Amino acid sequence: MVRPPFPLTAADVVDDAPVIPVIVLEEVARAVPMARALVAGGIRMLEVTLRTPAALECIRAIAREVPEAVVGAGTARRSADVQAAARAGARFIVSPGYHPELGRACRGEGLALLPGVATASEIMAAGEDGFEVLKFFPASAAGGAALLQAWSGPFGDVRFCPTGGIHPGNAGQYLALPNVACVGGSWLTPARALAQGDWPAIEALAREAAALRPQPR
């Protein structure tokens, strides 16, 4: 694989593969073998969520020991989250919502940002600050593929990574939409596989995700 340039753009992040894994890690020891399994399966943009005390150390370990991976930090809510993630080695940021201060922090650190949106007003607010590649969250609860299809008219220049309620059974429906670049999902790194160190299972899930194709509409 060719390593993406530094700094990344949001387009670099969403165009790399059909799925960005949304990863919750409780133990640093799991981070590196998990990342290697995902990369071996063809998935290298890895969103490690800042939901656990171990998250920053997991990002640091992946950034240091798995150069083929491109690790980012998810669930970033404050500028302090962005700064801590940058120090740990994150190369992109994913947020559940958007605030201008978060955008300024990412620009200050040279990190790509996928800001979360769920309404037309939020899309417009992010667009006003120059962000046109967005995370749609929580996708299923907020209106799903039907809402994304409706947005393709007034927001034809915006691309989305829907996350929340996405799984192998419906991912192809989202990927078939012209304004969807990729999807985010937690199914690639199930808690049981992480706990058991079942890296072949995670590699197999990554391989299936990397091969996902849009379903006919």
Reply yes or no on whether the pLDDT at 1 is more than 60.
no
Name the DSSP letter for residue 71: E
Answer yes or no: are the C-beta atoms of 188 and 19 closer than 8 Å: yes
Q: Which of 47, 57, 122, 132 is labelled catalytic?
A: 47
Cβ–Cβ contacts within 10 Å for residue 52, how many? Answer: 15
- Quickly tell me which residue has 């990574």 as its tokens: 161
Q: What is the pLDDT of residues 137-194, one digit of tens each?
A: 999 999 999 999 999 999 999 999 999 999 999 999 999 999 999 999 999 999 999 9
Is 135 annotated as catalytic?
A: yes
52-101 tens-digit pLDDT: 999 999 999 999 999 999 999 999 999 999 999 999 999 999 999 999 99
The pLDDT value given to residue 6: 72
For residue 95, the model assigns a pLDDT of: 98
Q: Which of 27, 57, 135, 203 is catalytic?
A: 135
Domain positions in the chain are 10-207
Q: Closest Cα partner for 87 from 63, 65, 67? A: 63
Report the run of H or E that residue 162 belongs to, with start and end: strand 159-162
Q: Cβ(39)–Cβ(68) under 8 Å?
A: yes
Instruction: Record the pTM.
Output: 0.96
Pair 8, 91: CB distance under 8 Å: yes
- From CA 173, how far away is CA 145, in angstroms rounded? 7
The per-residue pLDDT for 217 is 59
Q: Which CATH class is domain 10-207?
A: alpha beta
Q: Is 47 a catalytic residue?
A: yes
3-state secondary structure of 76: coil
